[in-house]
Amino acid sequence: MKRKSLVKIFRSVYTGVIADQKDEVNFWVLLFFILTFTVSRLFVYYFPQLYIPIRHVHVHHFAYGILILAVIGVMALNDWHHKKRRVFGSIYGIGLGLSMDEFGMWIRLDDRYWLRHSYDAIFITVAILIFSVYFERFWRKLFRGIYNDDEENDNYS
């Protein structure tokens, strides 16, 4: 009985907070981004020797993240995402989480994992994703207003 009530509560909060389809996809990106970042940090902390070497080269997980982002991007550009928006959003969040987790490594070209740049990148990415989930309408109206103002100014020049 408690399980059914918890599901009802979660469902009502989910539909109440995540208003439409565009917000819903951004929510799944945010959720899987945070989960992937957390899991990858825990794995690196507790199992630092667990990685896939290719020809004796330590391939960092940001490479896998970039590959996931590339594949999911090509699939989305070819309109494969319309029926599976949640799945595509989740996979995109995983790729983004893997690649941004080691942002400091690929911006500094240094093999040190625990750099401050990675935490800064994660914070900024989470902030952007939160704004896209919870304030998406605001940003759309703001940019639409700026874009319309620019068009009006172009017509007078």
Note the helical H segments in the chain: 2-17, 21-46, 61-77, 85-101, 103-108, 116-134, 136-156
Helix (H) or strand (E) segment spanning residue 53: strand 53-54
Q: Which residue has the higher pLDDT, 114 or 149?
A: 114
pLDDT at 110: 67
Q: How does pLDDT run across 137-150, given as a tens digit for each residue?
A: 777 777 776 656 54
Distance in angstroms (rounded) separating the CA atoms of residues 137 and 131: 10
Residue 157's pLDDT band (cuts 50, 70, 90): very low
Q: Which residues contact 92 (CB under 8 A, 6 or more apart)?
A: 29, 32, 68, 69, 72
Distance in angstroms (rounded) separating the CA atoms of residues 40 and 101: 8
Strand partners, 58: 53
Amino acid residing at 9: I
